[in-house]
Amino acid sequence: MTEQISFSIDDVVRALALPDRSRVDQRIPKKMLAEHGAPTAADRRLLTDGIEELQWVAALKPGTVAIPDHRADGREYLEIAVLALQVRATHNKQSQWLRLAELVHRAVPYPVVLIQALPPGGSVTQDEATPATPGQLAVSLAHKRAAQNETGKVVLDGELIRTELGGTNGIAPQIAARLLEALALDRQPHQDLMALYQGWMDCLTAAEAARITGHFRLTTDPSDAGAKREALRTCQLLEQEAIRLRNQASKERQIAKQVELNLALQRLQADLTAARARL
């Protein structure tokens, strides 16, 4: 049985090693989130009913971390918000877990480092029949850019980059330990706030790549980091497609179609092996 270790929001905050002058430690009203980040009534209910507490942990800006802001190419990184989200145990389905993270990222006008956790004893489930396991926690980030059609608005620029620690979906304990060690502020790029944010993203990418390779490896070469992100994304897409093809093959009754699906799986496996080698 795989060893499982519980992690807390405080573990991640300590790992970030933020200066005291950056700390805010204020509670964010759920009503404010619902007004700014909920495009549908269902999303508003999810924010209202699914959040136990949202805490604004720290504000990272030139005056608090001595790192310049970034203003170029439709992106303004004037501040990075570190937020801690406690999710109610009643909202532990994977779809709710992911949607809550996305809504919080969308609601805040600054790039967010979101630390998301269930209360002790809670866990995210893939479906209602999956048994619960303790220690579920995730860290997620998402780049932002100016909205093209709405002046003064910002939107997510790409998908969330996220890593789960603890629980059945968490990375291995030794990888989690390496990740927490790598997150310290003084280990990130300090050219500007966007470079800092990308540094943390690269840490999460390295952790997700380590799920596949078993080795946590960071790089300081931007082109190498970009290639790793692309290879990881390719691996994730190919793995999803492999699951789809296997499910389809298991239900297929025609021999010729089964052969065709198995050949497709073999080709896909070769592509997946090549993508893993680039990690």
Distance CA 184, CA 28 (A): 25
Would residue 152 be called left, alpha or beta, if left means φ above 0 and alpha means ψ between -120 and 50 degrees?
left
What local confidence, expressed as pLDDT, does residue 135 receive?
Answer: 59
Instruction: Please give the chain's pLDDT, 279 residues, in tens.
Output: 345 567 899 999 999 999 999 999 999 998 888 877 778 889 989 998 999 999 999 999 999 999 999 999 888 999 999 999 999 988 888 888 899 999 999 999 899 999 999 865 555 555 444 433 445 899 999 999 888 777 667 888 888 999 999 777 789 999 999 999 999 999 999 999 999 999 999 999 999 999 888 889 887 777 777 777 787 778 778 777 888 888 888 888 888 888 888 888 888 788 777 777 777
**pTM: predicted TM-score of the whole model, two decimal places:** 0.82
Structure tokens at 193: 């706030």
Distance CA 92, CA 125 (A): 6
Angle between the N-to-C axes of helices 94-107 and 30-37, in degrees from 0 to 180, rounded to the nearest 10: 80
3-state secondary structure (DSSP) of residue 76:
strand
What local confidence, expressed as pLDDT, does residue 4 receive?
Answer: 55
Distance CA 103, CA 33 (A): 8
What local confidence, expressed as pLDDT, does residue 180 receive?
Answer: 96
What local confidence, expressed as pLDDT, does residue 227 receive?
Answer: 78
